[in-house]
Amino acid sequence: MLLRDGETMCCPICGGTVFCATAHVTQDWELDETGTFQKCLNDCVEVTHFPDTEDIWDCKKCGYSGAGQDFITKK
């Protein structure tokens, strides 16, 4: 879990609470006879990495970008 009891994610600049961060997921691809990618068959089969405090988080409200750790605040 990303947060401990009493903590919440909050933009340190504008107080925004909606963010964009990168998750790592697996997906199934359709391939041709040479093994070349054709198209994605689904968005996500499994999440292999959830965004955490060491990833870069972007505030969707003001655009501030920083490590997830910078966004953790006490309730």
- Write each residue from 16 to 55 as x if it is in contact with Zn ion (CB under 5 A), else as -, in one continuous string: x---------------------------------------
Give the residue from 60, 57, 62 showing the smallest Cα distance to 3: 57
Binding of residue 13 to Zn ion (CB under 5 A): yes
Closest CA to 49 of 19, 24, 26, 20: 24
Backbone torsion region of residue 48, taken as left when φ is above 0, otherwise alpha when ψ lies between -120 and 50, otherwise beta = alpha
Q: Which range, of 7-15, 18-26, 33-41, 47-55, touches Zn ion by CB under 5 A?
A: 7-15
Residues found near Zn ion in the complex (CB under 5 A): 11, 13-14, 16, 59, 61-62, 64
